[in-house]
Amino acid sequence: MKGFLRNSIKKFDWRMLVIFLPGMMYVSIFTFYPIIKMIVMSFYDWKIGFQQISPFVGLDNYKTVFADPRAGISLVNTVVYAVVTVPLQMVLGLLIAVLINGITKFSVSFRLAYYLPVITSWVVVALLFRYIFSNNGLLNYFLLDILKIVDEPVGWLSTRWSAIFAAILLGIWKGIGWNMIIFLAALQAVPKEYYEAADIDGANRRQKFYKITLPSIRGSIVFALIMLIIGAFNTYTPIAILTGGNPSHQTEVVLTWMYFQTFGALNMGYSAALSVIITMLITIITIIVFSVSARGKEA
Amino acid sequence: MKRKIIAFTLFFTMIILIAGCSNKESEKVTIEFWHNYSASDGQIEVLENLIDEFEADNTNIKVNQVYMEWGSLKSSVVLGSSTGILPDVLRGDIAFVPQFQSLNVLEPMSNFDDYDLQTEKVLAAPNSSNKMGDDFYGIAANTNTKILFYNKTLLNDANVDVPESLDELWDAASELSNPPVVGMVEPWTGIWNIGPYIWSEGGDVLSPDNTTADGYINSQIVIDVTQKLADLYAANALGGPSMDPGAIGDTDGWAAGTYALQLDGPWRENANIAAGVDYGAIPLPPGSNGSISVLGGENFMQFKTSDEAHKNASWEFVKFMTSKHAQVEMAKVGQMPVNIEALSDSEVLEIMPLLPVFKEALLTAKARPVISQWSEVEDIIASKVAEAITGQKSVKVALDQAAAEIDELLSN
């Protein structure tokens, strides 16, 4: 063991330091330091003011967060958003990827069309969705004036769940393209020989998909799943623009609520505690996803 | 050779440092001025001209103006209070004074010997929004209040008279409502919006010493006013994006002919002119306690982080900006003056036809409580009143909860 250590120190090319030191410094300053600072802040009644003293309050901020029904509402909204958008984005993204992978003509055009929402600004598409779902919006125009299936405009953005539903639709619509690109790249890396062998064995399409395609792109699925879960917990713009958390903070998601507490109410300690809770939640979910997928691999 | 290089480097560094220390070619002070004058109304252009005039008269001062919109003006000061990156002088919402004071960043402006002399030239009511304890943390920059705007076309079409009392206002809102027309709009449900109705009926938000909400925000008067708004909302006679995120915004709604009545500030006039709306305006029709609107506007504030020279230079600039000349110039682009002489200037009266209406409303307008927790207090009220208006909770339950939450906040 000692010999190994000595050997690796001897072998270590110190010039490498020059290469990764800038990156390390960047990550330390802009990622690790803020995380540590945030954890520290969560134990204080943090005063951001000029030369103000922040008293240590122990777990008080955490207690306040857990006792605050509005934090609960924002968390439930976020979880619902994640639970619906993540699987639907993946399934639809994979479906489109498989379809595009199977065609030879126009595949670039389709890829471009499905990827377009991804590169469009969140703000722009969220505003568009607001125009579609507002009381005098496009959707109500169709329902009320064209199809005549409702008597008065439906308040899509007016109540909690219908507004979250609009945000979910936006999230899915905007996310499909990203999933498609990830899965398409993975699909193209699956060796053709597998399918040829399966053809010889007389496997049908369904069997090929479940026995060859899915296991081959497992890595991409896990990657997409984790990224999407993190992304769903970080959703901000759709809600900020569609409803602004209104009415009465009923449609807040964790990030909009955090932003309000930080810059609206100046409750830095509260927001820090909420951030720590969310970070832990995401970490736990990620670990579960990893361990489940690793177990699946062994089986 | 090596030694020579080291000696030369040290010598060179020393020269640079000495040059840096003695770089006082002139005693010119550059002050940083953050503001949210609106670019679309040509206010920034007027500001730039005023700054040129000021700099010409004060050759030792340079003003560096930085525009920020309302939200980023606030969050920049919040962040600046931690990093120390703050302006020397700021012009922002009167509601910022207690919030910024709670961040411990504001310099009491009343410390200047000639502060009282300067405040004699401005309206007392708007300037009261700077007072916390015995000190004044700013000086009024411009003022406004809300008056009742009505869409003449919609009133004529529905054969509804201009209301002369609060009760008539509620009735008019109901009578005017006929899809897609919504009688009245309130973009938010804070005290900025519902305060005037409460005060005009004789109610209040907090006790006179601002220490308790119980018995005030949940008093029978506030319950009755909120119930009235809830009834209007249920009858589609009251709308607004904070109660109903799907509702059309006030400016778009006025332009589209959706909204017929709104208690709003001077900007509604500009927006209506731009949208070609045929409108009229009167002070808020009186309730049982008279017509009491809400005081708005902006103040100039100074910061602790500036040194003496910068504080003095910014005070000179503030005095210039509150002088008659600067106030008249700003009035030409929509800023209602606080300078008493400017208010009766014939040029200003010509440009702001509604000024007499606003002046009348300003006589009785009331300031929101100047306390450091105000933004949290108002958020509690806005959210509970919205719950009551939209029928999620009964009015009494919602307002009792608001009183309890506010009292808990104030007791901390």
Residue ranges per structural domain of chain A: 60-298
Query: Nearest CB to B246: which of A50, A134, A263?
Result: A134
User: Which residue in chain B has the smallest CA separation from A154?
Assistant: B246
Residue B116: pLDDT band with limits 50, 70, 90: very high
As a whole number of angstroms, the distance between CA B398 and CA B381 comes to 9
Residue B17 has pLDDT above 90, yes or no: no
- Closest chain B C-alpha to A158 CA, distance in angstroms: 5
Of the residues B68, B78, B252, B397, the best mutation for testing chain A's interface (the one with the most A CB atoms within 10 Å of its CB) is B78
Kindly report which listed range (A99-108, A184-193, B105-114, B271-280) carries the lowest average pLDDT score. A99-108
Q: What is the mean pLDDT of residues B210-222?
A: 96
Residue B372: pLDDT band with limits 50, 70, 90: confident
| Domain B29-137+296-364 identical in fold to domain B147-294+370-411 | yes
As a whole number of angstroms, the distance between CA B62 and CA A238 comes to 42
- Closest chain A C-alpha to B140 CA, distance in angstroms: 24
At B16 the pLDDT is 55
Instruction: Collect all residues of chain B within an 8 Å Cβ-Cβ radius of residue A246.
Output: 241-243, 245, 386
CB atoms within 10 A of CB B265: 20
Query: Nearest CB to B245: which of A243, A263, A266?
Result: A243
Which ipTM was obtained for this model? 0.77
Decide: B88 and B33 in contact? Cβ < 8 Å: yes
Share of residues in chain A with pLDDT > 70 (%): 98
- Closest chain A C-alpha to B34 CA, distance in angstroms: 18
Q: How many CB pairs under 8 A join A and B?
A: 90
Residue A7: pLDDT band with limits 50, 70, 90: confident
pLDDT in tens, B25-38: 457 899 999 999 98
Query: Nearest CB to B104: which of A50, A153, A246?
Result: A50
CB atoms within 10 A of CB A138: 13
Side-by-side strand order, sheet with B238-239: B238-239, B182-185, B259-264, B147-151, B279-282
At A34 the pLDDT is 93
Residue B125 has pLDDT above 60, yes or no: yes
What is the number of alpha carbons within 13 Å of residue B15 lying toward its C-beta? 6
As a whole number of angstroms, the distance between CA B222 and CA B402 comes to 12
Share of residues in chain B with pLDDT > 70 (%): 94
Kindly report which listed range (A288-297, B349-358, B394-403) carries the lowest average pLDDT score. A288-297
Read off the tokens for B198: 């409460």
CATH of B29-137+296-364, one of 3.60.15.10, 3.40.190.10, 3.30.230.10, 3.10.20.30: 3.40.190.10
CB contact (8 A) between residue B81 and residue A135? no
Name residues whose C-beta falls within 8 Å of residue A14's C-beta, 6 or more positions apart in sequence.
none
User: Which residue in chain B has the smallest CA separation from A68?
Assistant: B405
Residue A298: pLDDT band with limits 50, 70, 90: low
Query: Nearest CB to B81: which of A50, A135, A251?
Result: A50
User: Which residue in chain B has the smallest CA separation from A45?
Assistant: B412
What is the number of alpha carbons within 13 Å of residue B207 lying toward its C-beta? 11
Query: Nearest CB to A136: which of B84, B180, B387?
Result: B180
CATH code of the domain made up of A60-298: 1.10.3720.10
CB contact (8 A) between residue A135 and residue B241? no
At A10 the pLDDT is 72
CB contact (8 A) between residue B241 and residue A136? no
At B135 the pLDDT is 93
Residue B20 has pLDDT above 60, yes or no: no
Burial of B273 (0-12, 13-18, 19+ CB in 10 A): exposed
More confident residue, B19 or B406: B406
Of the residues A37, A48, A73, A242, the best mutation for testing chain B's interface (the one with the most B CB atoms within 10 Å of its CB) is A48
Q: Give residue ranges of A with CB < 8 Å to any B CB.
A: 48-52, 133-137, 152-153, 155-158, 163, 242-244, 246-251, 263-266
Residue ranges per structural domain of chain B: 29-137+296-364, 147-294+370-411
Instruction: Collect all residues of chain A within an 8 Å Cβ-Cβ radius of residue B383.
Output: 248-249
At B13 the pLDDT is 59
pLDDT in tens, B247-257: 988 999 999 99
Instruction: Collect all residues of chain A within an 8 Å Cβ-Cβ radius of residue B256.
Output: 136
Q: What is the mean pLDDT of residues A242-258?
A: 92
Of the residues B93, B100, B104, B244, the best mutation for testing chain A's interface (the one with the most A CB atoms within 10 Å of its CB) is B244
CB contact (8 A) between residue B246 and residue A51? no
As a whole number of angstroms, the distance between CA B251 and CA B262 comes to 10
Round the average pLDDT of chain B to a whole number and report it.
91
List C-alpha distances in Å: B229 to B194, B197, B307, B391: 9, 10, 50, 11
As a whole number of angstroms, the distance between CA B356 and CA B343 comes to 9
List C-alpha distances in Å: A113 to A119, A171, A177, B254: 11, 17, 8, 38
CB contact (8 A) between residue A266 and residue B180? no
At B353 the pLDDT is 85
pLDDT in tens, A129-169: 999 999 888 999 999 889 988 888 888 998 899 999 999 99
User: Which residue in chain A has the smallest CA separation from B253?
Assistant: A136
As a whole number of angstroms, the distance between CA B147 and CA B262 comes to 8
CATH of B147-294+370-411, one of 1.20.1270.360, 3.40.50.261, 2.40.50.140, 3.40.190.10: 3.40.190.10
CB contact (8 A) between residue B180 and residue A134? no
Q: Rounded to two decimals, what is the model's pTM? A: 0.82
pLDDT in tens, B314-348: 999 999 999 999 999 999 888 999 999 998 888 88
- Closest chain B C-alpha to A243 CA, distance in angstroms: 5
Instruction: Collect all residues of chain B within an 8 Å Cβ-Cβ radius of residue A152.
Output: 179
CB atoms within 10 A of CB B220: 10
Q: What is the mean pLDDT of residues B72-95?
A: 92
Instruction: Collect all residues of chain B within an 8 Å Cβ-Cβ radius of residue A247.
Output: 242-245, 386-387, 390, 392
List C-alpha distances in Å: B226 to B170, B173, B381, B399: 12, 15, 11, 9
- Closest chain B C-alpha to A240 CA, distance in angstroms: 11
pLDDT in tens, A61-120: 999 999 999 999 999 999 999 999 999 999 999 999 999 988 888 888 988 898 999 999
Residue B43 has pLDDT above 70, yes or no: yes
Q: What is the mean pLDDT of residues B154-176?
A: 96
User: Which residue in chain A has the smallest CA separation from B405?
Assistant: A68
As a whole number of angstroms, the distance between CA A270 and CA A268 comes to 5
At B22 the pLDDT is 47
